[in-house]
Amino acid sequence: MLQITNLHAGYEQLQILFGVNCEAKFNEITLLIGPNGAGKSTVLKSIFNLVDIYDGQIRVDRREITKIPTYECIQHGLAYVPQGRPIFPNLNVRENIELGGLLLGRSLLHERVEYVFHEFPVLALKAKKPARSLSGGQQQMVVLARALMPSPKLLLLDEPSLGLSPVMMQGIFEKLVELKKQGIGTLLVEQNAKAASAIADKIYLLENGQVVLSGGREILAHEKIKRVHLGGV
Amino acid sequence: MLSPYILNLIVLIAIYGILAMALSFVIGHGGVLQFGHVALFGVGAYASAILTTTYSFSFSIGFLGAMAFGGIGACMLGMLIRRVRGDFMALTTFFFAFAFYALVLNVPELTRGALGIPAIARPSIVMSLPSYAIASVVTLVVVYLLLTRILHSPFGLVMGAMRDDELGARVLGKNTAHVQRVALVLSGMIAGLAGALYAHYIGFIDPSSFYLGDLVIIVAAVVIGGLGSLPGSVIGIAIYFLIPEVLRFINIPTETFGAVRQIIFITVLLLIILVRPKGILGKVLLDT
Amino acid sequence: MTTTIATQLALTILISGSLFALSAVGFTLVYRVTKIMHVAHGVVVLGSGYAFWWALQRGASASFAVAFTIAVALAMGWCIHTFVYERLRTRGKIAITMSLVATVALLVLGQNILLALFGSSTRVVSFSKQLSSADIHTLIVGVSLVSIIFLGMFLRWSRLGKRMRAVADNSIAAEVVGIDSARVRLSAILLSAVMGGIVGILYAMEFNLDPSMGSEIAIRSFSRVLIGGAGSLPGAIFGSFLIEGVEDVGAFFYSDGLKSVFSFVIVFLFLLLRPRGLFGRKIRKEDL
């Protein structure tokens, strides 16, 4: 389980999070929703030490990982997929994916690449193509595949549906449910609360850098959410 | 009164101070990464030297010519950097300085190439050292007042906005290209003037005074003195010229004197960049 | 008659072209991985040349001199990286303007240190007893091209090479995936220093050494990089031969001095019309 306690974080002088508490279990899909600027992405970035952490603790199974160097985070079973499909544009698809498996020995690396190509057959076809030549949806698959390489316990996804068609988005969400069955949990940040909430086991509503509501899917009936996030599309 | 040694220092600090203020104006206030400044200094020096020696024009023509050509040079530079931003802009201006040096070296019919131009006369009213010192300091003060006045005007405010956020300024409807051009040309004219002052003071110029080493010194003075501060740049220059005073007390072989002085000043620059990028009196940080 | 001139020209282009291609490649590697315009590369090259000369002067064998030079080059690269470049980063982002000022300052600092240590007279490395001029030329072309090919293969196939390419593409994503980007940056600078050391040795064998050459080397490597495209390795190589061709043909028909003026004109044309060079990617807001 990933545990965030009393997190205060931001960018230098600009504080974004004011005492965030939340948990993400490895066998669940945890959803963070909230308006723009609420700090959802900042929560994920804090876990990987990409922002300034002023106070608070981040723990993985009781082991504290607050502020450890970014490149050490994957050693704790976490895999982060930042917003915007951050592929390595000039490397080919296979190289992109292989770079996810830096910790793995040779044979294990091959095994994982096979597994990943099995999960995302499209990528197997495009293995030798430079990653920048793929479509948006395919690039999203590349970053997801790359994240899965080190057999993570928890995926951290920042708005994976951004810029994708509803069909592709559904595909991603279905994938996350499949992964949950395989024992890989997700901490998901999404703008599109309605679609994402269908797959969520636990939901946190973030506003102005604080958790204002949390619980299972029953909180969707709460006034706040219905009014602000689920109204319309 | 003051010894010739001190008067000499005063003149040099004044001349290079004028040059540094012009650069500070354009970088620290306008955010234009102008690393070709030394070329405009050279243009002014050569213009005035050639006009007064080869063509025997009067000194007024010489000085005005220096300013005019400085402005024209800046204009050309402005055209070159129109399409580039950030480090590419800095690089382009940098190349401009080198191109100028290469050009001067290779057009001997006009510039006498590496031999330089000797016997540049001084206007009779400032023939003596004390009078030249007074004239230089007066020019320094006048330039300072002029630049300060401009910086406090609406034009100056746009410059500041442009430095901090060029896109934002454009969105607000400010013609940043125009402001950039005008600021550049003005700095070019002032640099040209400094060049003329230099040429008629030393009496001899050659391409080596307007090259990489001098460029770094001027930029260093501006950064050490502090970006966004005109007096800061003059202080930076003063520090440079006062280093030999410090070196007196250390036993340094005379051949390495020049090199050691550069080494010290540049080390100070690097320390400032790493430890206190705002400089001594600066109020501004680029790269935010 | 014309065939001999043509071959002569082609040889000069080949020799200088390959040498400066290797230099341009060393610079490009650092630029791609660290986003710093590593102008100071010129002084790594020159410093290595001097180290080579010095070691031979002291009676060292050629192989020892080579090893010594590479060690010196590595030391220079390490110092520049650790004491300056890495310290200009906050949270992995680099301060662009300041890094440019710093790298040029390092170039001039280095040149002055060489001046203080070795004096301004030209130093010549002479191998005329052991190697003929033709041997030296073959060595230059051979070693340069082999080094470039080796680098290409290293970047394409090796683990560290892939990590360098990843950091070059997106250093944050690289960190997230477990790559220690600070170590990768250090490796890139050290690798580039080794190449700079090789260039320095070859340069010392063919040309004369004097402290001001650092900036010449930097500028010449630079123009090639800009023309080829600042992020592109093949571009740097192509740019090198292209510029070399222009310079040498121009020098042949006009005069040696105008050599550099020609390449400056081309550089300016590119900066004006196609800033990304021949093979560079469109300059976007890169992920720093």
C149 Cα to chain A: minimum distance (Å): 19
pLDDT, one tens digit per residue, over B267-280 is 999 999 888 888 88
Strands (E), B128-284: none
Query: Quick one: A52 and A159 in the same domain?
Result: yes
SS3 call for A203: strand
Neighbours of chain C (3+ CB pairs under 8 A): A, B
**Chain C: residue whose CA lies nearest to A71:** C178
Rounded average pLDDT over A6-26: 91
Task: Report yes or no: C96 at the B interface, CB cutoff 8 Å.
Answer: yes
Which residues in chain A have Cβ-Cβ distances shorter than 8 Å to C33? none
**Is B189 domain-assigned?**
yes
pLDDT for the residue numbered C226: 79
pLDDT category of residue A58 using cuts at 50, 70 and 90: very high
Number of domains in chain B: 1
In this prediction, residues B129-150 reach a mean pLDDT of 91
Are A25 and A127 found together in one domain?
no
Contact flag B266-C105 (C-beta cutoff 8 Å): yes
- Residue position matching structure tokens 């599109």: A192
Q: How would residue B176 be classed by pLDDT, with cut points 50, 70 and 90?
A: confident
Amino acid at C251: A
Please choose, from the candidates A65, A58, A60, the residue with its C-alpha nearest in 3D space to the C-alpha of residue A1.
A60
Cβ-Cβ contacts under 8 Å between A and C: the total is 64
User: If you count them, how many residues does chain A have?
Assistant: 233
Whether the CB-CB separation of B197 and B45 falls below 8 Å is answered with no
Selecting from A71, A91, A150 the residue whose C-beta is nearest the C-beta of C169 gives A91
Q: How far apart are CA A212 and CA C261, in angstroms?
A: 67
Q: Which residue has the tokens 């002088």?
A: A13
Closest Cα in chain C to B108: C257
Q: Which among A219, A230, A226, A197 is positioned nearest to A29, based on CA atoms? A: A197
pLDDT confidence bin for B179, thresholds 50/70/90 = confident
Enumerate the residues of chain C whose CB falls inside 8 A of the CB of residue B219. 101, 104
Paired tokens of B227:
């970006």
Same domain flag for A132 and A172: no
Q: Flag whether B264 is in a domain.
A: no
B201 found inside a domain: yes
Is the ipTM higher than 0.90? The answer is no
- For residues C125 and A177, the model is more confident at A177
Judge whether residue B167 has pLDDT over 70.
no
- Within 10 Å of residue C37's Cβ, how many Cβ atoms? 23
Helix, strand or coil, per DSSP, at residue A54: strand
Can you list the domains of chain C with their CATH numbers? Answer: 2-118+127-273 (1.10.3470)
Contact B34/B184 with Cβ under 8 angstroms? yes
Terminal CA-to-CA distance of chain C, rounded, Å?
54
Same domain, A159 and A143: no
pLDDT over threshold 60, residue A44: yes
d(CA A173, CA A171): 5
Q: Smallest CA–CA separation between A228 and chain C, in Å?
A: 33
How far does B4 lie from chain C, in Å, by closest CA? Answer: 29
Q: Looking up tokens 């930029």, which residue turns up?
A: B219
**Domain span at residue A52?**
1-77+152-233
Domain count, chain A: 2
Per-residue pLDDT of chain C (288 residues; tens, 9 = 90+): 467 877 888 888 888 888 988 998 899 899 889 988 899 999 999 999 999 999 988 888 888 999 999 999 999 999 999 999 998 887 767 777 788 889 999 999 999 999 989 888 888 877 666 777 788 888 899 999 899 889 988 998 898 999 999 999 888 999 999 999 999 999 999 999 999 999 999 999 888 888 888 888 888 888 888 777 767 777 778 778 877 877 777 777 766 666 677 778 788 887 777 767 777 665 444 433
Look at residue B79 and tell me if it is in a domain: yes
Q: Which of A105, A124, A151 is the last residue of a domain?
A: A151
Q: Is the pLDDT higher at C198 or at B127?
A: C198
Q: Which domain holds residue B48?
A: 4-211
Is the same domain home to A138 and A181? no
B263 and C258 within 8 Å at the Cβ level: the answer is no
**Domain end (from A98, A124, A151):** A151
User: Distance (Å) from the C-alpha of residue A198 to the closest C-alpha of chain C?
Assistant: 28
Tell me, what's the pLDDT at B172? 66
Arithmetic mean of pLDDT over chain A: 88
pLDDT for C52: 92
pLDDT digits (tens, 9 = 90+) for C80-111: 999 999 988 877 677 777 888 899 999 999 99
Which of B35, B106, B255 is the closest to C258 by Cβ? B106
Whether the CB-CB separation of B44 and B196 falls below 8 Å is answered with yes
Residue B108 lies in a domain: yes
Q: Dihedrals φ, ψ of C207, to 5°?
A: -115, 175
Residues A115 and A184 in one domain: no
Q: How far is C233 from chain A (nearest CA, A)?
A: 13
Residues of B in contact with C219 (CB under 8 A): 95, 98
Instruction: Kindly state the average pLDDT of the residues A131-144.
Output: 89
> For residue A206, what is the domain's CATH number?
3.40.50.300
- Shared domain for A134 and A160, answered yes or no, is no
State what percent of residues in chain A have pLDDT above 90. 45
Greatest Cα-to-Cα distance within chain C, rounded to the nearest angstrom: 63
Q: Are A52 and A30 in contact (CB under 8 A)?
A: no
Residue A156 and residue A135 in one domain: no
> For residue A123, what are the contacts with CB-CB under 8 A and spacing of at least 6?
A93, A97, A116, A117, A138, A141, A142, A145
Q: Is residue B207 part of a domain?
A: yes
Q: How far apart are CA C245 and CA C253, in angstroms?
A: 12
DSSP β-bridge partners for residue A203: A31, A215
Residues 6 or more apart from C161 whose CB is under 8 A from it?
Answer: C154, C155
Global pTM exceeds 0.90? no
Do A96 and A196 lie in one domain? The reply is no
Q: Provide the 3-class DSSP secondary structure of residue A32.
A: strand
Sort out which chain C residues have CB atoms less than 8 A from A102's CB and list them: 177-179
Interface contact flag, A87 C166, Cβ < 8 Å = no
